[in-house]
Amino acid sequence: MRTDITNILPEECISYILSLTSPTDVCRSKLVSPVFRSAADSDTIWGKFLPSDCYDIISNASSSSSSKLLTSSMSKTQLYFHLCKNPIIIDNGTMSFGLDKATGKKCYMLGARQLSIAWANTPRYWRWKRVPESRFSEVAELKEVWWLDVKGTIETKILSPNTTYVAYLVYKFSSSRYGFEKKPVDLHVELGESDAGRTFRIFLDPSANIPQFSREREDGWMEVKLGEFFNEHGDDGKATCSLREVDNYTLKKGLIIEGIDIRPKDSR
């Protein structure tokens, strides 16, 4: 005769055991029985999956952010899933922070204002504007340049350790655009001084007979992979992500940059 473990172990013990697994395993365990389903919703579990500095990061949320008010009254379970679906705006509105649902690891997006964009503050070349579909208050729209140079850096110490991260440019095009179908751009990610990284050359706006490397996101923006890096202990200094096309012969127009998304590999 088989013994049902849920008749032997108290729910608190089951919650503790589940907390030693992964967020994905915990969600799957809900299918086992009503007892497991109840245990899987315990704050004991989801509190362990939250990053240790999670509340410190939230305290740096934009003062106008409704997320800061919402998260202050949430249980740890509610907070975990809220951050998976609704990244909060931090660092004076220039970055966002969220969690990868499958692992609980940190995800960041560097908003356009957090990036180093050549001539970004010269109205002849770039325009800053609000768009309703962006999580940030401003995005950068390219009016016209020959020299395109966009860089974003992030301190590896704020990322989750022992994690391979992938950086993506998040962008779209305005209705009037040109140049990106004629000339490929260089995409690059490097880690500190120890990893020179690799450079990829692709067309951001390819014609029909050229491979498409970009994809549409759930939020309606496009994204293209800039590169990836392994964050071991967070002591490599900074990871630098870049987009460049600097031949000075091809005029470019119409690129709208929301930011650079940095998230664990295979998180979507």
Break the chain into its structural domains and give their ranges: 5-47, 107-264
Match domain 5-47 to its CATH number in 3.30.1380, 1.10.287, 1.10.3470, 1.20.1280.
1.20.1280
Long-range contacts of 126-135 (CB under 8 A, 24+ apart): 131/256, 133/219, 133/220, 133/221, 134/221, 134/258, 135/87, 135/89, 135/96, 135/109, 135/111, 135/219, 135/258
What tens-digit pLDDT sequence spans the chain (268 residues)? 455 555 566 777 877 777 778 888 887 877 677 777 777 778 888 889 999 999 899 888 876 555 666 667 889 999 999 999 999 999 999 999 999 999 999 999 999 999 999 999 999 999 999 999 999 999 999 999 999 999 999 999 999 999 999 999 999 999 999 999 989 999 999 998 766 678 999 999 998 888 889 999 999 999 999 999 999 988 878 999 999 998 878 899 999 999 999 999 985 5
pTM of the model: 0.90
pLDDT at 65: 55
Fold for domain 107-264?
Jelly Rolls (2.60.120)
